[in-house]
A and B are shown apart, each in its own frame.
With several copies, the nearest count.
Chain A
């Protein structure tokens, strides 16, 4: 009936990463000069260290969830180059409108590990005050807006923000992340259309990781690629090897400069792969064949980045051992601290619904505080 058979996913590196896809890293350790973002050695190394850090965080957080110490985690295993490369291309004044997988970008832009973990534990110091699920943080200092679960809504908001900045002649670009599944949402359509019509300085960054939970990318659309959707809106687009951090930096930076120069938005499709389940709630064994994972695993962004750095004399095993130990300790310590922080105070439940607390919430708060506590509640 639906014309698409439910066989194994067809999204494979060999078929997808064709010549139209921008790549930078070459097997000989050099970078294709036309796609080389020309970043400093220091930046390259710190990006690599950041990548190791978020990979390790992912592993630790999954373990914490399995132990029942946090409720949930949604990670970026396999997609780190797409996330860090794009974040690294931003200028200080630019803003991020995230999906839910980009904690790497938030940390890169300055969110503290402490703050991130406070959100994972939903404790009193959580920037979201324990109100949202884990991985739904916010960090204004990092020009990183608030994460919500509904798919696609941030896309249109990124456009409105950029539109506002443009109207005030402020030199600022917004970048919004979304998955390839989100291209089917209402708000992808709205965001793309408004961005193009009003020529807002916005970068539409699509992480095509092959899956929307159990739905493979080829069931999401009948179009040849996700990038080609730009045509419908009169918006230029580009496909990039999302596991090649140099190529990602290059195309994102180009899009940012283009936007900043007044030429409007760009759609970027970063070809990458969700190596783990959708989240800790998901077990991909039920729907995903192993072979695709194996094939994509050979293009692991971390491994490729490390190899490149090693071939250029910027990295070695000793450094790796030191880094692993340092990051592991950092994460362990931060978790120990965050886990001890108390849950949010009861009254906080009624704050921030409005700027000030109206009569009905004052009454409800008083009633709740004066009443008995729920069983098993960890609050004060």
Chain B
């Protein structure tokens, strides 16, 4: 099986699906000839031409608004937002229109749009090239939210997202775009939306993570093991609708849980996970669920490694939870 990094795997998935389904079109800023600022769409302009890989004017509202129209027509648009920090000019189209179109039309219409966008910090991007806005979309009924952590899942989840009947926010953790390499089958396969992966089994503490922070969770779990604490690590992969069964099952086993995410703590997705765990497994809890997250500040530049919930911050939380 070929080795690919995430950029290559997503590129491969896009190419495969564009060959398979002529309704799939890409649009966004710089997605054409240059292949996107992270080169995720590289080569697709040459293969599919400027009618299916479209450089647009500099307007995210225009990109998403047009994608909604294309989807209503019956195309399958996969717009790219260059950085998820720049999705907010399109927020009205996403929240008011994309998310609600099926519901408000009583199911007469639907618009299936997959918005791909790089997310997260760790690339020296400062305030506006590092943010993780997932909870701002999870709160909005009607959207699905996906965030892969490796090349295999990235391709499989992307194909599943494009074939899913509902709008999907597909967040790509840019810090591991090239670092997360692995075996990726050449042909067609999907990874089911809504299913988490247990990437490490353990009995003492459940660590829930996704995207780039998964590797930090694993690193912390390794160190915890050296300290006699056996962590189970869950990679959510789909953030919403979340795989509640996988979470509850793990928490019932361990009774202790640490949630990790890059986004600011307050009203981040970690809060929802803690609340759900309370509702579903309260009597199994032997310690308060802890959150290790970005701080409630804008994303800093120089101190970004202190801001991110890296292994050095996860480990103490795991030990504290284990020893509670």
Contact = CB atoms under 8 A, between A and B. Distances in A.
Interface stretch (A43-51, A142-150, A309-317): A142-150
Contact of A190 (B33, B62, B102, B166): B62
Nearest to A282: B37
A33 interface: no
Nearest to B243: A359
B303 A133 contact: no
Interface size class of B (residues with CB under 8 A): 35 or more
A168 B24 CA distance: 12
A127 B106 contact: yes
B49 to A, nearest CB: 8
A194 B57 contact: yes
Given A149-B128, A187-B93, A159 B66 contact: yes
Contact of B73 (A140, A165, A187, A215): A165
B314 to A, nearest CB: 11
B166 A346 contact: no
Contacts of A282: 37
Interface stretch (B3-11, B107-115, B181-189, B253-261): B107-115
Interface stretch (A177-185, A243-251, A296-304): A177-185
A343 B304 CA distance: 12
A167 B75 contact: yes
Most buried by B among A136, A159, A215, A372: A215
B176 interface: no
B74 to A, nearest CB: 7
Interface string A258-290: 000000000000000000000001100011000
Contact of B62 (A138, A184, A281, A372): A184
B295 A349 contact: yes
A138 B110 CA distance: 12
Interface in B95-128: 96-97, 100-110, 124-128
Contact of A131 (B35, B54, B126, B144): B126
Contact of A128 (B59, B61, B88, B104): B104
B69 A156 contact: yes
A361 interface: yes
A377 interface: yes
A70 B71 CA distance: 33
B92 to A, nearest CB: 6
Nearest to A153: B97
A35 interface: no
A371 B74 CA distance: 40
B105 to A, nearest CB: 4
Contact of A161 (B25, B73, B106, B302): B73
A354 B54 contact: no
B55 A372 contact: no
A3 B35 CA distance: 20
B51 A167 contact: yes
Interface residues of A, number: 93
A133 B129 contact: yes
B271 to A, nearest CB: 13
B89 interface: yes
Contact of B303 (A156, A190, A343): A343
Nearest to A156: B65
Given A123-B302, A349-B300, A377-B305, A129 B110 contact: no
Interface of B: 25, 29-30, 32-35, 37, 45, 50-52, 54-59, 61-62, 65-75, 77, 85-86, 88-89, 92-93, 96-97, 100-110, 124-129, 141-142, 144, 165-166, 194, 241, 244, 265-266, 295-298, 300-303, 305-308, 310, 312-313, 315-316
Interface of A: 1-2, 4-6, 71-72, 97, 122-123, 126-133, 136, 138-140, 145-146, 148-151, 153, 155-165, 167-168, 174, 181-182, 184-187, 189-191, 193-194, 197-198, 212-215, 219-221, 281-282, 286-287, 343-344, 346, 348-355, 358-361, 364, 368, 371-379
